[in-house]
Amino acid sequence: MDDQDIFRAIVDAQNKGLSAALATVIRAQGSLPRHAGSKMLVWADGRIIGTVGGGAMEAKVIAEAKAVMQSGESKLVSYTLNDLKQGDPGICGGTVELFIEPLLTQPTLVVIGCGHVGKALAELGKWMQYRVIVTDDRAEFCNPDYIPHMDEYIVAPPAQLTQHIKLTPRTYVAAVTRGLPVDVDLFPPLLTADIPYLGLIGSRRRWAITIKALEERGFTREQIAKVHAPIGLELNAETPHEIALSIMAEITMLRHGGTGQPMQWVGTPENAG
C-alpha cells in the first residue's frame, strides 16, 4: 500500500459517509521500521490501510485512532521502543512521534417521508452541506426527478430503514412521516441506535399516542425521551419551508451546543462585552 491507496480510501470514506482516522509519523529517531511521513488509515472497526511500523506499537496507534474518532479531536502521541520490560511497545531502539487526526465525514441528514415538508427539509439540508439521504415507501416521492441532487434515495418501508442505512454519531434523523402506524413501526430500531438526533413531526397528541404504543412494545420513558417531538424549534412555522427551517434550526442548535435563545443583547452599549 502506498500513499495513493490511502488518499483514494480517504476520498471513498468521505463519499460514503464513513468515519476514519489518519495516523502520520511526524518524527522518527533511531532504528525504526518506518520514516517520517509514513501514514496509516484506520477505520472505525480497526481495519487499516498502510502501516506505521507494525507490532505492539501499531496496535496502540490503532486504539488511539479509535479514541480520536470518538472524540473528534486530533492527538499527538509518542513512543519509545527500547525495553519491553519497561512497557515499551518494541525494542527497535528509537523513538517515534505520530499525529493522529479524525477524518470526520459531513454530517448526514436522513429525511424519512418525502412529502411537502420532507422535500423542503432535504433541499435545505443539502444547501447547508449535509449529506442527505431521503427515504419513503412511495417510489414516486423518492427519486431524483422529484427531489434532485440528493446523496441517496431509499424506497423501503420505514421499519426496514436500518437495513439500508449505516447510522453513526453524525447521523441526524428527521421523521416527517404521514401517519401513526408508520411512526410506531419506524421507531423501535432507531431508539437503540447511537445517533445524536431523532425527531418526529406532528402534534403533541400524535406524539402522546405514539408514546403509549411504544411503551406497550416495552420501551422505557428514558428511551422514548430521546425523540424530539414535536420536531423543530417553536417558530410558529406554517409552510413546508418554514417547518423545514425550524427543524434544521433545532438540529444546528444541538449539533453545536447552542441554546436556541435570541442573540439580541439588552442593555447600554457601554456595558457590552
Bridging pattern class, strands 152-155 and 131-136: parallel
> What pLDDT, on the 0 to 100 scale, is given for residue 65?
93
Low-confidence stretches of the chain (pLDDT < 50) are 83-91
pLDDT of residue 85: 46
Domains of the chain: 3-103 (no CATH), 108-256 (3.40.50.720)
- 67 neighbors 19 (Cβ within 8 angstroms): no
The sheet carrying 20-30 orders its strands as: 48-50, 39-43, 20-30, 94-103, 75-81
pLDDT at 88: 37
Q: For the whole model, what pTM was predicted? A: 0.74
Q: What SS3 class is residue 193?
A: coil
Q: What is the pLDDT of residue 42?
A: 94
Q: Which residues are paired to 76 by β-bridges?
A: 99
Which helix (H) or strand (E) is 175 found in, with range? strand 171-175
Cβ count near 106 (within 10 Å): 14
Cell of 231: 420536531
DSSP 102-121: EEPPPPEEEEE--SHHHHHH
